[in-house]
Chain A
């Protein structure tokens, strides 16, 4: 499978715990994005990487959220001290370095905070 891969697919955690999600983009894609989607809404942008550099962060990304892409390949999104409001689908997408900047999405990680 050469698409965007996300792990885990589902995560249930207790309020206050830390969670980490992983995203593996399509291999030749240097652009990587994280989005968050709540029920009945479209995805909302969280952050953007070009290679290993984090170039843009949404104001939605509070201090409890951190994202990395250490070698310009896979990326991780960590949420510290989770709250019930963090329950959502977290989507990762990647785009190639040139062309029409078409975004390809992974299957997402469904987070439930209890």
Chain B
């Protein structure tokens, strides 16, 4: 059974620091991995999608890496801003039809 873990559960950094968020999964047989952002009481916003054949994806200040063999993904957010405060969730796709298995998320607070 696939299990997805995100450590740490919470993180607080001063504005301007780089953020490093970790995601690990137990079964390397994944189709893709997706990172999401969730604001309190809101839905999920897709940040980055990494296909199983890719090693990383970049979008603006965000960069996500994927190491399938070790079951790890890392989301880097450069030069953090208070507006980056949110919960970040990673999810792996283990079926061809699209069922996602989520981690519990990392709650990030960026202080001015």
Contact = CB atoms under 8 A, between A and B. Distances in A.
B99 A42 contact: no
Given A100-B49, A101-B31, A103-B34, A45 B44 contact: no
B32 A101 contact: yes
Nearest to A43: B102
Query: Size range of the interface on A?
Result: 20 to 34
B109 interface: no
B43 interface: yes
A21 interface: no
Contacts of A40: 104
A95 B98 contact: yes
A25 interface: no
A76 interface: no
12 contacts: A31-B98, A42-B102, A42-B104, A42-B105, A43-B44, A43-B102, A45-B99, A45-B100, A48-B97, A100-B51, A103-B98, A103-B100
Interface of B: 4, 31-32, 34, 36, 41-46, 49, 51, 89, 91, 93, 96-105
Interface of A: 4, 6, 31, 33, 35, 40-45, 48, 50, 55-56, 91, 93, 95, 100-108, 110
